[in-house]
A = this chain, B = another copy of it.
Amino acid sequence: MNKSVCIVSGGMDSATALALTIASGKEAICVHFDYRQRTESREREAFNALCDRYEIASRYTIDLGFFGAIGASALTDRSIAVPSDFAAGVPITYVPFRNGIFLSIAAAIAEKEGANEIVIGAVEEDSSGYPDCREAFLRSLESAIALGVKDETKIAIVAPLIHLSKAEIVREALKLGAPLELTWSCYQNEDRACGVCESCRLRLKGFALAGAKDPIAYEA
C-alpha cells in the first residue's frame, strides 16, 4: 500500500486534498504545523477532528515556534493587522517561504516513513497570490528534494487542487463527502469565522459559486 504524507492545516483545501488521497486508497500520514499563526488552537482542533473522522493512525503535530520570532506576516505577528480587503501583489498574510519549510519537513517525514508522496492543498489560481503556492515552485522543490535525500528515496509532491477554483474545491469536497463542517479557514477568529478576512472571503465565494451553504458559523 502506498503511503502519503498529507499536510493538513485544518482548512477546507487541505481537508479536500486529504479526502482525495483517502479516496484513492492510499494510507495517509497526516502532518499539522503549529507556526504560531493567530488561529492555531482552532486549526489544530480541526486537524484532530479530521484525523479522527478519517481514522488516521499516524499523525504528527510539528511545533515551529520560530515562525513567531521571524514574524513579517499578519498571521504570525500580532502587531500587523489581518486585512479585510484584497490589495495588489503578495498579501501581508504571506508567511516567508512557509510552504518551502512545510514541504522540507514533510520530505524528512516521508523519507523516514517510506512514503512516496507528499500531498499539499496548495491552490494557485483563484486564490491568495502567495508565491509558495505556485505550481512551478512545487515542481522545482520536488526536483531539489530528489537530489537532497538518499538516492533510493522517491518523493513526489502532489497538489491535487493547484488549478482548481474555490467553487470547484467545494464541489469536489461535497462529492467526496469531506466533512467541511469540521474545517476552519478564518485568519482572524477562533470562535465564529469573521467572514471578511481574505481567507473567509475566498471560502464564502467558493460556496456561493458552487450554490452550496457553508456549514460553519460566521459572525453576523
Contacts and interface: CB of A to CB of B under 8 A. Distances in A.
A72 interface: yes
Contact of A147 (B60, B69, B94, B140): B140
Given A104-B104, A140-B143, A143-B140, A148 B97 contact: yes
A128 interface: no
Interface string A61-74: 01101110111100
A14 to B, nearest CB: 18
Contact of A144 (B66, B108, B143): B143
Interface residues of A, number: 42
B148 A137 contact: yes
B150 A140 contact: no
Contacts of A60: 66, 69
A40 to B, nearest CB: 15
A100 interface: yes
B147 A137 contact: yes
